[in-house]
C-alpha cells in the first residue's frame, strides 16, 4: 500500500487542499452578501477584484513561509518575535480556525435542517460530523489530502452541472448595466468578497508540508484561483438567473436558484437536493482543514501530543458550533469571521514579515 | 480492530441500527400532496359556515380563503378505483378561511387524515379582488419563506373566484397540472405569456417595478388563459386587466413572440392570415440635452401567408403581396398602439420593459427618473417602426 509516513504532500495535493479549505459555505451565501453591499449587478467584478487581492495575500504568506522550510507558522512565529508573542499570535490563529470550523458546521447543519432533514435535531447532524472529521484528522495531512483529491472533482462536477442546467433561466440582462454607478459600489462589495476567502491562512502551515517547497507559490496560487473562479461563476449564474432583486431577498440564493426550475425527465428533477448532498462533502473537507490546522497548532504551541490535541478540541468545536442561537447571529458571525481574518492577516503574516525583514536586513541577525 | 472482535461487532451493530432509515421520514402515501393553491378574498365556504354554526371557531378576521388542490385523492386505493371504472375527479379541493396561510394550512389538519405538504406546489392562482385589497408582497410572503414550496411555482391571477380555476369537468385530469402544461403553448401564441415563477415575482416585487401576470378564466369546468392582470409596482396592488390581444402586443414590443397568427381584412373585407415565424424587436432610447426621454421600437417579423379568403386577389403577384404586408403591418401597429394607449393613458404603468431598457442603456438618466417611473413613462413619446415580410405562401401556390 502507499502508506506514507513522512507527512509530505505533493504540489497538486497542496493546491487541492487550499481549494477545499476556502471553498465552502460561501457558495451558498456569497451572492446575497456581495449584492447587498454593491446594490448594482456589478457584484461579479467585486469577486474578481477581491480574488486578486487575496492572491497577493497568499503570495505574501507563501514568501514568508518559504523562509522557514519545514516549519509551520506556529513554529516560525516564535523564532521571529520570540516565544511568548509568537505563542500569542499562534493562539489567535488557532481560535480563529476553531471559530470558522464551528461556523462551517453550523451553516451546514442549518441548511440541511431547513431543506433536507426537517425534524432532525441539530446535534444529530453536528456530532457525527465532528466525529467523522476527527477520524480523518487523526491520520494527519496525508489522508486528508488524499480524501480531498477524491471529493473535489465530484463536488466541482456537480456544482458545474447545476450551473449548466440553471442556464435555462439565465438572462444576461440581469447582469446589465455594467458599472452604472462607477467603481465605488464594486469597492464596497470587496468587503464581503474578501470574507469568503477567509481560511486561506492555512497556507502558512501548508507550505511546511510540501514535498517541493520551491513550488509552493504555484500550488497556492492555483489553489486559490479555483475557488475564485467558482465564486465568480456562482455570482454570475445566481444574479443572471434570479436577478439582483431576488438574490438580495433570498436567505440561500444559490439554493433558491436551483429551486427556481425543474427538469422533468432528467435523472434529478430538482437539483437542489443532489447539490446540497454533494456540497455536504465539500463542507466536510472545509471543516476538516480547520480542525486539522487548529489541532496541529495546539500540539505545536503547547507541546501536546497531536492526538490529545484533537480530543481536546472536539468539545470546543461543538461549543463554537452551537453558540449562535438565531440564524441572524450565524450570519453576523460569518461577517465577524471576515473581519477577524483581516485582523489576523495584519497581525500574523504582515507583522511577522516586517519584523523578519527588519531583523534580517536591518540588524543582520540570523533568525 | 481484529484484535477486539467484540468491539468491532458492537460497532457494526450500532452502524446497522443507525443506517436503517431517516430520522423523521414520512411515507409519501401518508401525505396530502398539493399541486395547486388558490387565494381568494375571505369568504366562508358553505361547509365552513356549517361548521362554525356548530361551534368550530377560532379567532380570525377572515381576510383570505385558501383552497388547496390535493392529489391524488386516494393514493393507496387508486388501483381499486380504476377497477371501479373511475368515478369522480382525481383530486380534491379543500378550502379554509383565515388570516395567515400557514395557520390555514395547519387548521386543515383538523379536517384531513394526512398532513398537507407543499413540495409539489406547481401553480398558484390569486383572485384579483384579493390582490386589490392586499398587496402581492403580503400574499406571497409565506410561500417565499416556506422550505417546502419551491420558487419554481408559477403565479397566475383570476378575475373571478380563484378557487373555481382549480376545477375541471374532465375526470382524469388535475386542473393545476393542466394549467402548468397549458403554458407550453407559448410557442403557439404569445397570448400565452411566459410563466412567472415565485423567484421572478420576488425580484419584481422587490424592485418595485410594475408587472403583469397571466389571467385565468373558468367557465363550465374549462379553463382559458385570458389576458393579464396588471400589478402596480409601488403599491403591490392589482389595478386592472389587459385583454388577450394586449398581452400579445406586449409580446411584440418585448420581442417575446415564438409563434402565432395575425389576421386582418383586406380591402374587399375578406380575412387574410399571417403565420408568425419570427419576431425581432429592438427598443432604442433617446435622451436629449434637456433630459427629454423618448423610445423608438423597431419590430421586424418574418412569416408566411397561411390563409387567404379573398379569391379575387392572387398573392403570388408581388403587388398583392406587398399590399397584404402593408395590411398586416397596419393591423399590428394598431394593436401595439392600442396597448400603448392603455399603458400610458389608462393605467399609467410600464409593464413592457421600457424602464429596463433605459436602465441598461442610460443608467445615469434612469437614476433620476426611477422613483416615479410609471408616471413619467406615461408622458414619454414612443414611436414604432413595424415591418412584416411575407417570405412564403405555404404549400399552395395560388
When CB atoms are compared, the residue of B22, B197, B205 closest to A260 is: B197
Q: Give this complex's ipTM.
A: 0.85
Q: Give, for B69, the enclosing helix (H) or strand (E).
A: strand B64-71
Task: Residue B199: list chain A partners with CB under 8 A.
Answer: 242, 246, 250, 256-257, 259-260
Q: Check if the beta carbon of residue A14 is closer than 8 Å to that of residue A214.
A: no
For the segment A251-287, what is each residue's pLDDT rounded down to a tens digit? Answer: 999 999 999 998 888 788 888 888 988 889 999 999 9
Is B130 within 8 Å of B40 (Cβ atoms)? yes
Chain B partners within 8 Å of A261 (Cβ): 152, 197
Angular region, B4: left φ>0, alpha ψ -120 to 50, beta rest: beta
Q: Which residues of A touch B197 (CB under 8 A)?
A: 260-261
pLDDT of residue B86: 52
Nearest to A20 by CA among A162, A126, A194, A150: A150
Strands in B113-237 per DSSP E: 116-117, 123-127, 154-158, 211-219, 222-231
Whether B144 and A249 lie within 8 Å, measured CB to CB: yes
Q: What's the per-residue H, E or C state across A4-20?
A: CCCCCECHHHHHHHHHH
Contact across the interface for B199 and A259, Cβ inside 8 Å: yes
What's the alpha-carbon Rg for chain B, to the nearest Å?
27
pLDDT score recorded for residue A145:
93
Q: Which of B140, B141, B152 to mutate to test the interface with A (most CBs of A within 10 A)?
A: B152
pLDDT at position B386 is 94
How is residue B194 annotated by DSSP? P
Q: Do B152 and A261 touch (CB under 8 A)?
A: yes
| CB nearest A242 (choices: B199, B356, B361) | B199
Closest Cβ opposite residue B360 in set A124, A173, A256? A173
Largest CA distance in chain A: 71
What residue of B is the nearest CA neighbor of A238? B199
Cβ pairs A/B, distance under 8 A: 71
Number of H helices, E strands in chain B: 13, 13
Do B62 and B44 meet the contact criterion of CB atoms below 8 Å apart? yes
What per-residue confidence (pLDDT) applies to A182?
Answer: 82
The number of angstroms, rounded, from the C-alpha of A189 to the middle of its chain's C-alpha atoms is 18
Average pLDDT over residues A96-101: 93
Tell how far CA B204 is from the center of its chain. Answer: 14
What was the pLDDT predicted at A31? Answer: 92
CA B327 to chain A, closest CA, distance in angstroms equals 34
Backbone angles phi, psi at B168, to 5 degrees: -140, 155
Give the pLDDT confidence score for residue B314 in this predicted structure: 81
Say if residues B239 and B343 touch (Cβ distance below 8 Å). Answer: no
Which triple of cell numbers denotes residue A110? 442549518
Residue B371: per-residue pLDDT = 87
Of A117, A173, A245, Cβ closest to residue B203 = A245
In Å, how far is B81's CA from the nearest CA of chain A? 27
Q: What does the pLDDT read at residue B2? A: 56
Residue A6 — very low, low, confident or very high, per pLDDT cuts 50/70/90? low
Residues of B in contact with A124 (CB under 8 A): 23
- What pLDDT does B85 receive? 46
Residue B251: predicted pLDDT: 93
Determine, for residues A248 and B24 on separate chains, whether the beta-carbon distance falls below 8 Å.
no
Backbone angles phi, psi at A212, to 5 degrees: -120, 90
pLDDT in tens, A164-196: 999 989 999 888 888 888 888 898 888 888 878
Chain B contact probe: residue of A116, A172, A259 with most B CBs at under 10 A = A259
In tens, the pLDDT along A12-38 reads 999 999 999 999 888 998 999 999 998
Searching chain A, which residue's CA lies closest to the CA of residue B208? A245
The alpha carbon of residue B292 and the mean position of all alpha carbons in its chain are separated, in whole angstroms, by 35
Residue B375 CA: distances (Å) to CA of B210, B213, B312, B371:
11, 20, 49, 9
Q: Which pLDDT does position B172 carry in this prediction? A: 82
Task: Please report, in angstroms and rounded to a whole number, the separation of the first and last CA atoms in chain A.
Answer: 40
**Alpha-carbon gap, residue A225 to A161, rounded angstroms:** 20
Partners of residue A117 in chain B, C-beta under 8 Å = 22-24
CB atoms inside a 10 Å sphere around CB B315:
19
Measured between alpha carbons, how far is B376 from B323 in angstroms, rounded to an integer?
A: 38
Give me the pLDDT at residue B83, please: 42
CB distance A176–B152 less than 8 Å?
no
CB atoms within 10 A of CB B47: 12
- Predicted confidence at residue A191, as pLDDT, reads 83
Q: Do A118 and B202 lie within an 8 Å CB cutoff?
A: no
Residues of chain B with pLDDT below 50 are: 1, 75-85
Asked if the Cβ–Cβ distance from A246 to B202 is below 8 Å, we say yes
Find, among B119, B103, B194, B190, the residue nearest to B156 by Cα.
B194
* Cα distances (angstroms) measured from residue B352 to each of A172, B340, B343: 18, 9, 9
- Span A65-94, mean pLDDT? 90
Task: Test A124 with B147 for CB contact under 8 angstroms.
Answer: no
- Least confidently predicted of A115-129, A293-307, B118-132, B135-149: A115-129
Amino acid at each position: 500500500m502507499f502508506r506514507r509516513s513522512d507527512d509530505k504532500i505533493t504540489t497538486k495535493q497542496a493546491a487541492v487542499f487550499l481549494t477545499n479549505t476556502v471553498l465552502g459555505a460561501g457558495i451558498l451565501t456569497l451572492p446575497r452578501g456581495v449584492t447587498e453591499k454593491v446594490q448594482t449587478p456589478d457584484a461579479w467584478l467585486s469577486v474578481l477584484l477581491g480574488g486578486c487581492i487575496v492572491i497577493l495575500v497568499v503570495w505574501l504568506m507563501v514568501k514568508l513561509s518559504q523562509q522557514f522550510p519545514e516549519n509551520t507558522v506556529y513554529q516560525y512565529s516564535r523564532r521571529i518575535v520570540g516565544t511568548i508573542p509568537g505563542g500569542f499570535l499562534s493562539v489567535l490563529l488557532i481560535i480563529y480556525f476553531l471559530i470558522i470550523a464551528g461556523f462551517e458546521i453550523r451553516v451546514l447543519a442549518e441548511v440541511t435542517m431547513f431543506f433536507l432533514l426537517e425534524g432532525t435535531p441539530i446535534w444529530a447532524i453536528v456530532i457525527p460530523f465532528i466525529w467523522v472529521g476527527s477520524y480523518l484528522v487523526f491520520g494527519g495531512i496525508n489522508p486528508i489530502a488524499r480524501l480531498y483529491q477524491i471529493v473535489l472533482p465530484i463536488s466541482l462536477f456537480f456544482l458545474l452541472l447545476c450551473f449548466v442546467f440553471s442556464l435555462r433561466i439565465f438572462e444576461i440582462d440581469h447582469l446589465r448595466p455594467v458599472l452604472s454607478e462607477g467603481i465605488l459600489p464594486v469597492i464596497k462589495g470587496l468587503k464581503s468578497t474578501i470574507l469568503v476567502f477567509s481560511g486561506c491562512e492555512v497556507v502558512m502551515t501548508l507550505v511546511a508540508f510540501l514535498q517541493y517547497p520551491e513550488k509552493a507559490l504555484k500550488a497556492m496560487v492555483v489553489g486559490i484561483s479555483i475557488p475564485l473562479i467558482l465564486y465568480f461563476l456562482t455570482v454570475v449564474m445566481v444574479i443572471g438567473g434570479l436577478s439582483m432583486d431576488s438574490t438580495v431577498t433570498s436567505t440561500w440564493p444559490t439554493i433558491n436558484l436551483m429551486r427556481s426550475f425543474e427538469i422533468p425527465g432528467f435523472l434529478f428533477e430538482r437539483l437542489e437536493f443532489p447539490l446540497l448532498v454533494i456540497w455536504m462533502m465539500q463542507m466536510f473537507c472545509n471543516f476538516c482543514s480547520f480542525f486539522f490546522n487548529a489541532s496541529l497548532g495546539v500540539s505545536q504551541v503547547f507541546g501536546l501530543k497531536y492526538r490529545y490535541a484533537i480530543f481536546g478540541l472536539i468539545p470546543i468545536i461543538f461549543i463554537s458550533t452551537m453558540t449562535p442561537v438565531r440564524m441572524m447571529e450565524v450570519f453576523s458571525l460569518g461577517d465577524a469571521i471576515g473581519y477577524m481574518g483581516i485582523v489576523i492577516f495584519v497581525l500574523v503574516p504582515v507583522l511577522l514579515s516586517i519584523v523578519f525583514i527588519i531583523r534580517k536586513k536591518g540588524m543582520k541577525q540570523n533568525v | 480492530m481484529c484484535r477486539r472482535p467484540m468491539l468491532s461487532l458492537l460497532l457494526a451493530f450500532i452502524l446497522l441500527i443507525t443506517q436503517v432509515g431517516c430520522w423523521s421520514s414520512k411515507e409519501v402515501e401518508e401525505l396530502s400532496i398539493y399541486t395547486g393553491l388558490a387565494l381568494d378574498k375571505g369568504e366562508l365556504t358553505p361547509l365552513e359556515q356549517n361548521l362554525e354554526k356548530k361551534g368550530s371557531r377560532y379567532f380570525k378576521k377572515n381576510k383570505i380563503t385558501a383552497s388547496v388542490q390535493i392529489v391524488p385523492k386516494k393514493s393507496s386505493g387508486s388501483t381499486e378505483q380504476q377497477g371501479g371504472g373511475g368515478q369522480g375527479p382525481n383530486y380534491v379541493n379543500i378550502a379554509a378561511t383565515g388570516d395567515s396561510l400557514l395557520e390555514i394550512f395547519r387548521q386543515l389538519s383538523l379536517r384531513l387524515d394526512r398532513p398537507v405538504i407543499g413540495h409539489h406546489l406547481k401553480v398558484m392562482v390569486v383572485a384579483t379582488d384579493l390582490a386589490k385589497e392586499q398587496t402581492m408582497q403580503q400574499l406571497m410572503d409565506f410561500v417565499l419563506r416556506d422550505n417546502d414550496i419551491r420558487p419554481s411555482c408559477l403565479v397566475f391571477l383570476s378575475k373571478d373566484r380563484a378557487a373555481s380555476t382549480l376545477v375541471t369537468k374532465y375526470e382524469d385530469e388535475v386542473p393545476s397540472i393542466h394549467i402548468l402544461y397549458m403554458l407550453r403553448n407559448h410557442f403557439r401564441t404569445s397570448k400565452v405569456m411566459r410563466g412567472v415563477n415565485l423567484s421572478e415575482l420576488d425580484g419584481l416585487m422587490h424592485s418595485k417595478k410594475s408587472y403583469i401576470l397571466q389571467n385565468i378564466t373558468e367557465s363550465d369546468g374549462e379553463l382559458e388563459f385570458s389576458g393579464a392582470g396588471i400589478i402596480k409596482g409601488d403599491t403591490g396592488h392589482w389595478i386592472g386587466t389587459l385583454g388577450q390581444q394586449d398581452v400579445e402586443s406586449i409580446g411584440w414590443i418585448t420581442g417575446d413572440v415564438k409563434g402565432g397568427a395575425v389576421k386582418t381584412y383586406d380591402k374587399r373585407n375578406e380575412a387574410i392570415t399571417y403565420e408568425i415565424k419570427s419576431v425581432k424587436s429592438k427598443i432604442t432610447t433617446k435622451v436629449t440635452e434637456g433630459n427629454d426621454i423618448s423610445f423608438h421600437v423597431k419590430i421586424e417579423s418574418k412569416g408566411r401567408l397561411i390563409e387567404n379568403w379573398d379569391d379575387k386577389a392572387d398573392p403570388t403577384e408581388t403587388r398583392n403581396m406587398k399590399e397584404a404586408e402593408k395590411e398586416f403591418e397596419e393591423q399590428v401597429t394598431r394593436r401595439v398602439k392600442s396597448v400603448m394607449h392603455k399603458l400610458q393613458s389608462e393605467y399609467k404603468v410600464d409593464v413592457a420593459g421600457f424602464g429596463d431598457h433605459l436602465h441598461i442603456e442610460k443608467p445615469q438618466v434612469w437614476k433620476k427618473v426611477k422613483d416615479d417611473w410609471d408616471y413619467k413613462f406615461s408622458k414619454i413619446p414612443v414611436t414604432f417602426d413595424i415591418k412584416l415580410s411575407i417570405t412564403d405562401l405555404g404549400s399552395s401556390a395560388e
